[in-house]
Amino acid sequence: MKRFFILIIFLTVYTSVAQSITILDIDSKFPIVNVVVFNEDKSKRVVSDKDGVVNISDFLVNDILTFSHVAYVEFELLKRVITGKKIIYLRSKSEQLQEVFLSASKGKESRKRIAEQIAIFSIKDIQKTAPQTSADMLAEIPGIKVQKSQAGGGSPVLRGMEANRVLLVVDGVRMNNAIYRKGHLQNAITVSPNMLDRTEVIFGPSSVIYGSDALGGVIHYYTRKPTVSDKNNANVSVLNRYSSVNDEFTVHAGIELSFKKIGSYTSVSHSKFGDLRMGKNRNHGFDDWGKVFEYSNNSNSFYNPNPVINSNPEIQRNTGYDQTDILQKFFIPLSKKTDVTFNFQYSTSSDIPRFDRLTEYRDGELRFAEWYYGPQKRLLVSSQLQINPHKKWLDNGSIILAYQNIKESRINRRFTSLNRTIRKENVDVFSVNGDFYVPLTKAKDRILSYGLEFTFNDVDSNSEGKTLSVNDPDSNQGEITGFSGTFPVQSRYADGGSTYTTSAVYVNYRQDISKKSTLNTGMRFTNTYLTARWIDDTFITLPDSDISLNNSAVTATLSYIYKPIDNWQFNGVLSSGFRSPNIDDVGKVRERRGDVTVPNVNLKPEFAYSAELGILKYFNDKKLYVGLTTYYTLLDNYIIRDNFLLNGSSTILFDGELGNIVANVNNNTAYILGGTFNFKGDIGNNFKTRASFTYTKGKAYDTNEPLSSIPPFFGLLELSHEKGRLEMGLDFKYNGRKKPKDYNITEGIDRIEQTPIIDANAIDAIDKYYGSPSWTTFNFRSKYRLSKNFDFLFAVDNIFDTHYKEFASGISAPGRNFSFSLLVNF
């Protein structure tokens, strides 16, 4: 009997051990944490711990187990095949090019079923590049350029379109709101790259799925999502980073808790950025271009009527700021067919100096003593219900309820003046999204998807003027002790309040016609309704002070994919998009360089009609691909900022200065055409490469003038090596020259005045300025895994310390930068 019990104990221990497996990276042989293992109906799931160990004893012997991780290729295996194995290896997604894409149809689709030009930036890419902000991350994605007016910002450009012509989405919720403006928009940074699982980009009009604003494309941020596990599990990650070029310190901490009935992920990220140093080597030949010889040292509590000398003109004073981002998610499986995710996001910053305005001159003198954005605050609270009823007309789908609150403010004061103007905006956004899917055949080669969207924006805009009190008014400078009075200031938007409502329904159909071809088609109906009411007419009297605008549009898409053989793919897309004017388009009042933008209550929607052709060729068992995409987009009724008459006058007194009146108006037609050539993949012997080259051209048919926001030719080439614990890579970035004749001078968005002056006496801007010089940079990145818990990252950006400015930017790009990061997982 004693021997019998010993045998039972031995068998029990042996079985338990045999049912625990370790999941390792196939290259580094290090354990992978947070791999989710589940059966076919997802009734059971477990998560690997910090040692990569997972216990699969609760699964049945004939269960098909799926091993899923955001950074690795999904892997399936029968449990009975696993029995006896102690180690399972997973391969990084970067080695496999047939990624699953989530954004194109708001459901999982493989690249081979998507005709549009797309791009994915994974969590591994984010960790490798270690971007300071999400704008810096977007600049690493092929086909995207990023404009900057100040360090605390970044306006992505897709196919010659930016700001409110590009749709930003986070976790299925559109970030674009009623005051997203034309020109340059800096809101992309309000999502920290440290909290992202991946970012997906769709290039070109995608209005069937996403609605208004997606003319240039869609940028979809996906934040990290918690998991549940039958075995309790906790994982903590900490990132510390220092960058020399602006004394950046970033600390990020995330903790994931996995239980049987709930999963939680908490993330906090804080970054402190100092003043940015530009590059020293001026290969362009302009010795003083971009240098800061004097600057304002005024602050909320200090007054100085005069600029001060900059001891180092290559340090761009008034570019530092702080930012904090918080993410909290809860994932709760309600049943085998239903789960819910609660999502809380909050981003806030310190005051962010508007560098380009603080370096603006008039009559040879610095114009502004103060010009900064108050803390930029973004709050998102949402719940996403995922359902899988497997009914005839509803196989699976999701419903998202969301609330967002956005707070913005602009504060400025001119030199020698004690009058500070303050303009504040508060936007509340309520939204509902429903996206549903129905496979029409058992083989799932015919899929019908349909959905709806409703958003309501409530905009509150107010303004005030305050006259500063200085403790020693007889001296040249002193402490600001308070305010001696107030004065009226024109609000940025309608002071009586404004609203912007959108409602839409769509249907989309995708069919695999054969093994070689796939057809996709869809339609969307969207209605927008805008109201605005102006009360104070001290400064501006409008023809109608209480307006309402109602616009509707039907958009469509048709795409076809043909694969003559397994390694070739040909794509064709015909699509239409539209953008209905929002509050910023219709009702904004602001001044820039002597031009005062006023409301135009007669503004109409703009439309885009696009044709796109693409070719993909795969090599080396689909571990390497070469692609070429070309497109032509016709803009109809396009919106442009131009000279305008208000009550018969072409000038207006604004903030004590006489300015020229401009407004957003509709023109007839224009075109944008271009293409992107790229390749990416494994070239053998642990070497990988990627490259991208993008050309864009845009011109108005009616005025024959170049369009704004058209970047010059640009590209990148990267070679990387990964073996064992070490990863390293070198990349080369190129940006061509943009000549003055290719600038749009009328709108001022291209900011030709930010380029080198070649003839100070010239009247015509085309003769006065050089345009944007070409530039190149070399950059090095490396990552070394010290142990299973510690990764050390080292990077050198702009190795040769080249001075340059991105096209249309008001700030010089960073000089040589040494970056050190330590990533800890335990």
Residue 4 has a pLDDT of 44
The distance from CA 484 to its chain's CA centroid, rounded to whole angstroms, is 43
Name the residue among 71, 57, 70, 65 with its Cα closest to residue 88: 65
* 679-700 tens-digit pLDDT: 999 998 889 999 999 999 999 9
Amino acid symbol at 734: Y
Cα distances (Å, whole numbers) of residue 468 to 487, 489, 748, 823: 11, 15, 32, 47
The two three-digit tokens of residue 576, written as one number? 């239409």
Name the nearest CA neighbour of 63 among 87, 83, 35: 83
Pairwise CA distance, residues 441 & 343, whole Å: 34
Q: How far apart are CA 582 and CA 178, in angstroms?
A: 5
Q: What is the arithmetic mean of pLDDT over 591-620?
A: 90
Query: What are the C-alpha distances in Å from 539 to residues 133, 466, 489, 536, 597?
Result: 39, 17, 8, 8, 13
SS3 label, residue 276: strand
Q: For residue 112, count CB atoms less than 10 angstroms from its CB and return exposed for 0-12, middle for 13-18, buried for 19 or more.
A: middle
Pairing of strands 87-90, 20-25: parallel
pLDDT higher at 224 or 73:
224
Go through 170-186 and write b for each residue having 16 or more CB atoms within 10 A of its CB, e for each that does not.
bbbbbbbbbbbbbbbbb
CA distances from 197 to 192, 327, 762 (A): 11, 12, 51
From the list 50, 169, 115, 193, the residue with the least C-alpha distance to 821 is 193
Q: Are 157 and 146 in contact, with CB atoms under 8 Å apart?
A: yes
Q: What pLDDT, on a 0 to 100 scale, did the predictor assign at position 223?
A: 96
DSSP type of residue 695: E
Structure tokens at 513: 């016609």
Q: Tell me the pairing of strands 64-69 and 36-38.
A: antiparallel
Task: Measure the CA dihedral 582/586/588/591, to 10°.
Answer: 120
Query: In this predicted model, what pLDDT tens digit does every residue of 175-231 receive, in sequence order?
Result: 999 999 988 988 999 999 999 999 999 999 866 788 778 899 999 999 999 999 888
Q: What was the pLDDT predicted at 137?
A: 96
Q: For the residues 83-88, what does the mean pLDDT come to? A: 74
State the SS3 of 85-129: CCEEEECEHHHCCCCEECCCCCCCEEHHHCCCCEEEEEHHHHHHH
Question: Does residue 75 register a pLDDT over 90?
Answer: no
Whether the CB-CB separation of 372 and 320 falls below 8 Å is answered with no
pLDDT at 815: 98
Bridging pattern class, strands 419-439 and 396-414: antiparallel
Q: What is the full DSSP assignment across 631-679?
A: EEEEEES-EEEEE--BTTBSEEEETTEEEEEEEEEE-SEEEEEEEEEEE
Provide the 10 A C-beta neighbour count for residue 16: 11
Cβ atoms 208, 523 nearer than 8 A = yes
The residue with tokens 């810096």 is 136
Residues in CB range of 291: below 8 A, 6 or more apart: 278, 313, 314
Q: What is the pLDDT of residue 14?
A: 39
Reduce the secondary structure of 488-527 to three states and give it as a string: CCCCCCCCCCEEEEEEEEEEEEEEEEECCEEEEEEEEEEE
- Where does residue 821 fall: left (phi above 0), alpha (psi -120 to 50 degrees), or beta otherwise? beta
Length of the chain: 826
So what's the pLDDT on residue 105? 64
CA gap 217, 142 in Å, rounded: 13
Which tokens go with 792?
């050390």
| Mean pLDDT of the region 421-428 | 97
- Look at residue 29 and tell me whether its pLDDT is greater than 80: no
Strands 595-597 and 657-666: parallel
- Cα separations in angstroms, 16 against 11, 37, 265, 646, 752: 8, 17, 29, 81, 70
pLDDT for the residue 13: 42
**Rounded distance, CA 242 to CA 822, Å?**
9
Do 255 and 62 form a contact (C-beta atoms < 8 A)? no
List the beta bridge partners of residue 332: 340
Half-sphere exposure of 404 (CA within 13 A, CB side): 25
Among 17-31, 390-404, 616-630, which is the least confidently predicted range?
A: 17-31
Distance CA 413, CA 812 (A): 24
CB 57 within 8 A of CB 16: yes
Q: What is the pLDDT of residue 207?
A: 62
Q: How many CB atoms lie within 10 A of CB 572?
A: 14
Q: What angle do CA 798, 801, 807 make, to 5 degrees?
A: 70
Which of 149, 224, 250, 65 lies closest to 811, judged by CA?
149
For the cut 90, the answer to whether the pLDDT of residue 655 exceeds it is no
Which sign does the torsion angle of CA 56, 58, 60, 64 carry? negative
pLDDT tens by residue, 474-504? 667 789 999 999 999 999 999 999 999 999 9
The arithmetic mean of pLDDT across residues 453-465, rounded, is 96
**pTM, 2 dp:** 0.91
CA 695, CA 820: separation in Å to the nearest integer? 34
Q: Where is 612: in which H helix or E strand?
A: strand 606-619
Task: Answer for the pair 101, 116: CB distance below 8 angstroms, yes or no.
Answer: no
pLDDT score of 98? 54
In terms of Cα–Cα distance, which of 632, 504, 525, 638 is closest to 573?
A: 632
Looking at residue 178, its pLDDT comes to 95
User: Alpha carbon of 685 to those of 11, 30, 103, 723: distances in Å?
Assistant: 45, 20, 33, 9
- Cα-based distances in Å from 85 to 12, 14, 39, 589: 17, 13, 18, 68
pLDDT of 561: 95
Of the listed ranges 58-67, 359-368, 560-569, the one predicted with least confidence:
58-67
Q: Are 348 and 271 in contact (CB under 8 A)?
A: no
Taking the mean position of all CA atoms in its chain, how far away is CA 456?
22
472: confidence class by pLDDT, cuts 50, 70, 90:
confident
* pLDDT above 90 coverage of the chain, percent: 70
**8 A C-beta contact, residue 74 and residue 53:** no
Q: What radius of gyration do the chain's Cα atoms show? A: 28
How does pLDDT run across 2-27, given as a tens digit for each residue? 444 444 443 344 344 447 888 888 77
Does pLDDT of 280 surpass 90? Answer: yes
Q: How far apart are CA 299 and CA 601, in angstroms?
A: 37
User: Where residue 329 falls among pLDDT bands split at 50, 70, 90?
Assistant: very high
Q: What is the pLDDT of residue 82?
A: 75
For the chain, helix, strand, coil in percent to 5 are 10, 55, 35
Distances (CA, A) of 240 to 138, 252, 269, 627: 21, 7, 10, 37
pLDDT for 593 equals 78
Structure tokens, 405: 């609150």
Count Cβ atoms below 10 Å from residue 422 Cβ, excluding itself. 16
φ/ψ bin of 131: left (φ > 0), alpha (ψ from -120 to 50), beta (otherwise): beta
User: 312 in helix, strand or coil?
Assistant: coil
Q: Which of 25-29, 161-165, 269-273, 443-447 has the lowest mean pLDDT?
A: 25-29
Residue 310's Cβ-side half-sphere holds a number of Cα atoms within 13 Å equal to 16
DSSP at 63: P
pLDDT, mean over the chain: 90
pLDDT surpasses 60 at 458: yes
